[in-house]
Amino acid sequence: MLFWQILIDGFAISSLYALGAMGFALIFGVSGVLNLSHGALMVAAVVAAWAAGNDLHVGPYVGAALGVFVGFAASLITYFLIVRPLQQSRKIREEEREIFILTATLLWGIMIQELIAYLYTNNAKTVAPIVEGVVSLAGVRTPSNEIFTAVVCWLAIGLLWLLVNRTRAGKAVLAASMNPRGVTLLGVELSQVYIVIWAIYGVLAGIAGVLLGMFLGVSSYSVGPLTASAFSIVVLGGLGSVSGALIAAYVVGYLETLTAYLISPAYRTIPALLLLVIVIYVSPRGLLGRR
Amino acid sequence: MRKGQNRAISAAFGASAAVLAIILASPVQAQTKAPIKIGVIAEAQAVAGSSIPQAAQLAAEELNAAGGVDGRKVEIVSYDNHSSAAESVRAFQRAANEDHVNAVIASYISEVVLALEPWTGRLKTVMVSPGAASDVITQNIAKDYSHLKYTFHGYLRSTSLAQQVCAAAKELLVDQLKMKSAVVVSEDAAWTTPLDAEYLKCLPTIGLHVLDHIRFSPDTTDFTPIFNKIEAQKPDVMITGISHVGVQPTVQWKQQQVPIPMLGISSQATNSSFWNDTNGATEGVLYQGVSGPDVAVTPKTLPFVAAFKKKFGNFPSYAGYTAYDEVFYIADAIKRAGSTDPDKLVVALEATDYVGTIGRVQFTGKDSPNPHALKVGPDTITGLMLQWQGGKQVNLWPAKVANGKLKFPKFIKVGAADR
């Protein structure tokens, strides 16, 4: 019974982690940007979906769609307002550019966090679930919403795979992640590729946020832990590797679930962080890192 | 000529004396008419905390509309502490040293109030907390009365809260539903240590056998393992002690259809916005409160709720009721003391006997093991046990002010221990 419980819960939470971290990995893989406002964008999507339901009185589908849209819009605003000006600035030395972007996205995330707390308080918010009720899976009473979360995560991951591997824009993104200069020589406008990946990332972060809001709920305090969680998964998987992030998400998700069930929920994150330290020592490139 | 000269000299002296009198009198008059300043240090970004400055402001406006305190206006000076003890200490120092407030109303978080407590002695500034619960606040006063006597605990102690929960659980769960067992589940925080200790003491005396005692980190986001562990023990009820968390355990309890009712302290559930925050998942949650939107605890309760709703568009949190009362009884104490001198104010506050929105406010004496704690009981503050039903906070206990009956959502199986 406990085995199935851990298997089911671990799968749902890992799928959510994977979706949240894959966009983060994609951005880094293609443009070298570590977006430390990641958690803020996810929380913004949740609060938007929650506010749509409570203030605009829309149904759960429209609320969820609005949440995803806010994730998408917030991602593009982050790119155009914060990241792109720093990428193009001639006042910043090339070797310092990454640290400038890192700091700017971190501060941008804090600004979003404070704005959310100011407008909607720092109390946790949950998004109205699209599916309600429970079903019995291998004798485990499982919320239908948990299954829905895992299914939507995998659909989004599948669509991302198709987009990257089967479309022209996606192939340009893939090529840019392998060799940005080579792609430019082939006549692909790199800035267009960046817009595409930030748009994809926004949708992924929006979906992950809304699902997290339905599954567990978040508050403005979640901004830091969500960014840290995505960052840890991406470092564990190998910076820039989307498939590495996928594997690492499941390693972290199951490690956390096992700890929560077998030791104590209070120590949930500790073993995964210890593993991260070990991996950084033993193999700094992570599981499937390229950079 | 001489007569005329004398007259001129007299007139000059008279005029000078009058001018001097005006010059000397002006500051004195201004001083007596200077406003009474009450600092409010609160968590403006938290639902429970945001009601504190709002309710204090409302009380000040009502006092001023009635002529103030001996002709002096009451002025509220607000500081947002961002739920941080460090920021609260800085705000307290600023309030006392720069803004020269006469008293401070501070925070619903025990850790924050405990951090401020030594500063009340150092800066000789009276502080009343509208929402912290830890017994340690008043235990500290007992240990060092002369230094910490400026602190007053304007909300119930954790031990009192647990006793009220036990009293309500006896009538509602043991007597009515014949429940026999419980699991105590609380967040790990300063206020729950004495709360849990009292739960473990009083629950067996009312006939609820405690099967387990779980304390979880306030950072917990996934409560599934906790609910699974509790459910495996088949208790009749979960007795809760939650404040920093609230939305997430409640939503997950409903989503996972955990068939065990929750009763106890759930501070966030006292807020009227909790229904929307949880998308209605709070249906059936039982929580202790000192007031409820539709419960006329005293003749002052409902007019306050109506005025608050009219001014701010929502209902006050539990700390809003106490903050509102605190402004009134601090003003009353200043009036009785005839001074804003902190030592005189302490003496006057110790003699407080004020019927507010949550009951009759009286403080325990300095010889008590918990000096400056609120007295509780049938003659002072009894507390309530409310339940969320269909988007409304319905009071079930005590019977004389009850306005509804116990009702659980379908997934709750009453008498889970017999399954």
Is residue A291 included in any domain, yes or no? Answer: no
User: Is the CB of B251 less than 8 angstroms away from the CB of A260?
Assistant: no
- Per residue, what are the HEC states of A180-224? HHHHHHCCCCHHHHHHHHHHHHHHHHHHHHHHHHHHCCECHHHHH
Q: Which two tokens stand for residue B85?
A: 């003890």
Identify from A3, A121, A259 which residue to disrupt to test chain B contact, counting B C-beta atoms within 10 A and taking the largest count. Answer: A121
**Average pLDDT of the segment spanning A268-288:** 87
Determine what percent of chain B is predicted with pLDDT higher than 90.
Answer: 81
We report the CATH number of the domain holding residue A246 as 1.10.3470
From edge to edge, which strands make up the β-sheet containing B209-216? B209-216, B181-187, B237-242, B262-266, B286-289, B384-389, B392-397
List CB contacts (< 8 A) between B47 and chain A: 121, 123
B276/chain A closest Cα distance in angstroms: 6
Identify from A54, A211, A212, A216 which residue to disrupt to test chain B contact, counting B C-beta atoms within 10 A and taking the largest count. Answer: A216
**Average pLDDT of the segment spanning B352-365:** 97
List CB contacts (< 8 A) between A265 and chain B: 216-217, 220, 222-223, 225-226
Tell whether the model's pLDDT for residue B29 goes beyond 80: no
Contact B197, B160 (CB under 8 A): no
pLDDT at B26: 47
CA within 13 Å, CB half, A131: 14
Query: How many other C-beta atoms are found inside a 10 Å radius of the C-beta of residue A106?
Result: 17
Q: Which CATH architecture has domain B159-289+383-418?
A: 3-Layer(aba) Sandwich (3.40)
B32 falls in which pLDDT band (50, 70, 90)?
low
Q: Which two tokens stand for residue B34?
A: 């200077």
Beta carbons within 8 Å of B172's beta carbon, 6+ residues apart:
B263, B286, B385, B396, B397, B406
What does the CA dihedral A275, A277, A278, A279 come to, rounded to 10 degrees? 80
Is residue A288 included in any domain, yes or no? Answer: no
A72 falls in which pLDDT band (50, 70, 90)?
very high
pLDDT at A286: 84
Orientation of helix B301-312 relative to helix B318-337, angle to 10°: 110
pLDDT at B15: 53
More confident residue, B6 or B148: B148
Query: Is B339 near chain A, with CB under 8 Å?
Result: no
Q: Which CATH architecture has domain B33-156+297-361?
A: 3-Layer(aba) Sandwich (3.40)
Is residue A233 included in any domain, yes or no? Answer: yes
Cis status, amide bond into B398, omega within 30 of 0:
yes
B415 falls in which pLDDT band (50, 70, 90)?
low
pLDDT at B1: 44
**Average pLDDT of the segment spanning A198-206:** 95
pLDDT at A182: 81
Mark B346-369 as b/e (b = at least 16 C-beta within 10 Å).
bebbbebebbbbbbbbbbbeeeee
B348/chain A closest Cα distance in angstroms: 36
Beta carbons within 8 Å of B393's beta carbon, 6+ residues apart:
B270, B272, B289, B292, B293, B294, B386, B387
User: Is the CB of A217 less than 8 angstroms away from the CB of B248?
Assistant: yes
pLDDT at B10: 56
pLDDT tens digit sequence for A37-53: 999 999 999 999 999 99
Determine what percent of chain A is predicted with pLDDT higher than 70.
Answer: 99
A67/chain B closest Cα distance in angstroms: 16
More confident residue, B416 or B409: B409
pLDDT at A121: 87
List CB contacts (< 8 A) between B220 and chain A: 265-266, 268
Of B216, B255, B279, the CB nearest to A265: B216
Instruction: In whole angstroms, give the CA distance from residue A146 to residue A140.
Output: 12
Identify from B251, B273, B276 which residue to disrupt to test chain A contact, counting A C-beta atoms within 10 A and taking the largest count. Answer: B251
User: Is the CB of A124 less than 8 angstroms away from the CB of B277?
Assistant: yes
**Average pLDDT of the segment spanning A62-90:** 96
User: Is the CB of A123 less than 8 angstroms away from the CB of B228?
Assistant: no
H-helix or E-strand containing B354? Answer: strand B354-355
User: What is the distance, to the nearest Å, from the Cα of residue B63 to the centroid of all Cα atoms in its chain?
Assistant: 20
pLDDT at A178: 77
pLDDT at A239: 81
**Average pLDDT of the segment spanning B316-323:** 94
Nearest by Cα to B131 from B325, B379, B394: B325
Identify from B277, B312, B318, B413 which residue to disrupt to test chain A contact, counting A C-beta atoms within 10 A and taking the largest count. Answer: B277
Of A5, A9, A126, the CB nearest to B279: A126
pLDDT tens digit sequence for B256-269: 999 999 999 999 99
What type of residue sits at position A76? L
List CB contacts (< 8 A) between A268 and chain B: 220, 222
Query: How many other C-beta atoms are found inside a 10 Å radius of the C-beta of residue B301?
Result: 22
* Sign, Cα dihedral of B29, B33, B38, B44: negative
Is residue A83 included in any domain, yes or no? Answer: yes
**Average confidence score pLDDT of chain B:** 91
User: Is the CB of B248 less than 8 angstroms away from the CB of A124?
Assistant: yes
Domain count, chain A: 1
List CB contacts (< 8 A) between A134 and chain B: 255-257
pLDDT tens digit sequence for B126-137: 999 999 999 999
User: Is the CB of A121 less than 8 angstroms away from the CB of B45?
Assistant: yes
Tell whether the model's pLDDT for residue B347 goes beyond 50: yes
B279/chain A closest Cα distance in angstroms: 6
Residue of B nearest to A141 (CA): B256
Is residue A202 included in any domain, yes or no? Answer: yes
pLDDT tens digit sequence for B198-238: 999 999 999 999 999 999 998 898 999 999 999 999 999 99
Domain of residue A138, residue span: 2-282
* Sign, Cα dihedral of B395, B399, B405, B406: positive
B30 falls in which pLDDT band (50, 70, 90)?
very low
pLDDT at A30: 85
Q: Which two tokens stand for residue A195?
A: 């817009």
**Average confidence score pLDDT of chain A:** 91
Identify from A113, A123, A134, A136 which residue to disrupt to test chain B contact, counting B C-beta atoms within 10 A and taking the largest count. Answer: A123
Instruction: In whole angstroms, give the CA distance from residue B277 to residue B385.
Output: 21
pLDDT at B185: 97
A242 falls in which pLDDT band (50, 70, 90)?
confident
List CB contacts (< 8 A) between A53 and chain B: 279
What type of residue sits at position A216? L
* Strand B384-389, strand B286-289: pairing: antiparallel
User: Is the CB of A121 less than 8 angstroms away from the CB of B46?
Assistant: yes
B412/chain A closest Cα distance in angstroms: 13
Give CA separation, A263 vs A140, A255, B52, B232, B282, in Å: 20, 11, 39, 16, 29
Is residue A109 included in any domain, yes or no? Answer: yes
User: Is the CB of A5 less than 8 angstroms away from the CB of B228?
Assistant: yes
Q: Which two tokens stand for residue A80?
A: 């155009």
Q: Angle at Cα A176 formed by Cα A170 and Cα A179, nearest 5°?
A: 145
For the purposes of burial, counting CB atoms within 10 Å of the CB of A262, is it exposed (0-12), middle (13-18) or buried (19 or more)? exposed
What are the residues of chain A with a beta carbon less than 8 Å away from any beta carbon of chain B?
Answer: 5, 9, 13, 53-54, 117-118, 121-129, 132-134, 141, 143, 145-146, 216-220, 222, 225, 257, 260-261, 265-266, 268
A229/chain B closest Cα distance in angstroms: 13
pLDDT at B367: 93
Nearest by Cα to A120 from B60, B35, B276, B266: B276
Of B251, B256, B257, the CB nearest to A126: B251
Instruction: In whole angstroms, give the CA distance from residue B54 to residue B112.
Output: 19
Domain residue spans of chain B = 33-156+297-361, 159-289+383-418
* Strand A140-143, strand A134-137: pairing: antiparallel
List CB contacts (< 8 A) between B219 and chain A: 225
Write down the H helix ranges in chain A: 2-31, 38-55, 60-77, 84-88, 94-120, 144-166, 168-178, 180-185, 190-215, 223-237, 242-262, 270-282
